[in-house]
């Protein structure tokens, strides 16, 4: 595709807050999806809001999805002290809403679910008022792993569908569309208090009809929150961008999802699953 349109241009990371967030993360030896996945919003989130999305279970993923910049390969052993370090960093950053994600850990029997759960417990041990949002992998379809995570009591259980059913073999070739929606539906059934969230990327070659089908499947799975953003190619070895959606088209997609019954929809070129997560949660609480 040609150069990025103006609405996708972002500022270079800078400023006191940005470097303070980076210092705190380094001091606790933590990874973030912001850096490893080359998120375009890092300057705004770190520099303006002092927020970051923590990536636990190391920084090497056992999968190699065609859209993702995170390093793939054979991970090392996981760190049992990592949950406590995440909690300490959240306290130092004075976050009221924390988003935790991870690499895929297909090498672990539970996919890392126990570490997710312990991270929730460690955060709540330091500050019971912090709202916790977990963005998990698919745990290879293990509902026992989902139960481990949900039982820990996060406020939001999130798992990204990412793209439409037809593109899974090309874009998420080690994942399964039906399995991913099954996880979301199972999590919804395990707790009456939890919010279910998922996110998708636009621009990989999907059709409007396929997006509509995905949204209908999201409604069936009990999804409360949907994010829709533009796919941006991390490097020349990743999947090509097939289309840049105009902001007006994102508005139309958002309206389509709301009309289907998804209550909270956030759709825009730079929207990501954890973008403005605290503001999103506060908006939800005011409308509940």
Minimum mean pLDDT range among 72-81, 207-216, 259-268: 72-81
pTM of the entire predicted model: 0.92
Distance of CA 181 to the CA centre of its chain: 15
The strand pairing partners of 55, in sequence order, are 31, 101
Q: How confident is the model at residue 147 (pLDDT cuts 50, 70, 90)?
A: very high
Q: Which residues pair with 78 in a beta bridge?
A: none
CA neighbor of 198 nearest in space, from 219, 213, 172, 176: 219
Instruction: Give the burial string for 158-175 (b: 16+ CB within 10 Å, else e).
Output: bbbbbbbbebbeebbeeb
Distances (CA, A) of 239 to 30, 126, 203: 28, 41, 10
- C-alpha dist (Å) from residue 203 to 5, 41, 240: 13, 18, 9
- Residues of the chain with pLDDT > 70: what percent? 90
Handedness of CA 277, 283, 285, 288 (dihedral sign): negative
Statement: residue 167 has pLDDT above 70: yes
Question: What pLDDT, in 10s, does the model give residues 64-110?
Answer: 998 888 889 999 888 999 999 999 999 999 988 899 999 999 999 99
d(C-alpha 182, C-alpha 70), whole Å: 25
* CA-based torsion, 115, 121, 126, 128: positive or negative: positive
Q: Are 33 and 101 in contact (CB under 8 A)?
A: yes
Closest CA to 231 of 167, 145, 186, 178: 167
- Position 120 pLDDT exceeds 80: yes
Query: What are the backbone dihedrals phi and psi of residue 267, each rounded to the nearest 5 degrees, phi first?
Result: -130, 125
Count, residues in the chain: 288
Per cent of the chain over pLDDT 90 is: 70
Number of neighbours of residue 241 by Cβ within 10 angstroms: 19
Kindly indicate the confidence band of residue 4, based on its pLDDT and cuts at 50, 70 and 90.
confident
Which helix (H) or strand (E) covers residue 218, if one does?
Answer: helix 208-221
DSSP for residue 192: S
**Is the Cβ–Cβ distance between 102 and 56 less than 8 Å?**
yes
- Residue 188 confidence class, pLDDT cut points 50, 70, 90: very high
Are 113 and 148 a contacting pair, CB within 8 Å?
A: yes
d(CA 41, CA 229): 12
Please give the pLDDT value at position 234.
85
pLDDT band at 194 (very low <50, low <70, confident <90, very high): very high
pLDDT at 252: 98
Residue 129 above 80 pLDDT? yes
Q: Are 171 and 204 in contact (CB under 8 A)?
A: yes
For 254-283, what is the mean pLDDT?
Answer: 84
Q: What sign for the dihedral angle of Cα 243, 246, 251, 256?
A: negative
**pLDDT reading at 278 higher than 80:** no
The most confident of 30-34, 139-143, 274-278, by mean pLDDT = 139-143
Q: CA–CA separation, 288 vs 266, rounded Å?
A: 16
pLDDT at 265 over 80: yes
Question: Which residue ranges form the domains of the chain, and what is each CATH number?
Answer: 9-287 (3.20.20.70)
**For residues 238-261, average pLDDT:** 96
């Amino acid at each position: 595709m040609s150069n990025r349109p103006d609405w996708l241009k972002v500022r270079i990371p800078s400023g006191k807050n940005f470097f303070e967030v980076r210092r705190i993360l380094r001091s606790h030896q933590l990874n973030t999806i912001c850096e490893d996945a080359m998120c375009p919003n890092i300057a705004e989130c770190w520099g303006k809001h002092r927020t970051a999305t923590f990536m636990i279970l190391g920084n090497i993923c056992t999968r190699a999805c065609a859209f993702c910049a995170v390093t793939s390969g054979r991970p090392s052993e996981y760190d049992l002290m990592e949950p406590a370090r995440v909690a300490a960093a959240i306290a130092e950053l004075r976050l009221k809403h924390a988003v935790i994600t991870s690499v895929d850990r297909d090498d672990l029997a539970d996919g890392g679910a126990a570490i997710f759960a312990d991270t929730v417990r460690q955060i709540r041990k330091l500050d019971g008022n912090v709202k916790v949002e977990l963005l998990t992998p698919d745990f290879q379809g293990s509902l026992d792993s989902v139960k481990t995570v949900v039982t820990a009591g996060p406020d939001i259980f999130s798992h990204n569908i990412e793209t439409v059913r037809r593109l899974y073999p090309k874009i998420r070739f080690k994942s399964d569309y039906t399995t991913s929606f099954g996880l979301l539906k199972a999590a919804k059934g395990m707790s009456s208090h939890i919010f279910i969230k998922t996110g998708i990327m636009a621009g990989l070659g999907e059709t409007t009809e396929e997006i509509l089908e995905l949204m209908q499947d999201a409604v069936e799975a009990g999804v409360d929150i949907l994010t829709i953003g533009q796919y941006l190619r991390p490097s020349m070895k990743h999947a090509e961008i097939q289309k840049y959606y105009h902001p007006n088209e994102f508005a139309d997609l958002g309206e389509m999802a709301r009309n289907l019954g998804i209550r909270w929809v956030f759709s825009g070129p730079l929207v990501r699953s954890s973008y403005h997560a605290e503001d999103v949660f506060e908006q939800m609480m005011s409308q509940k």
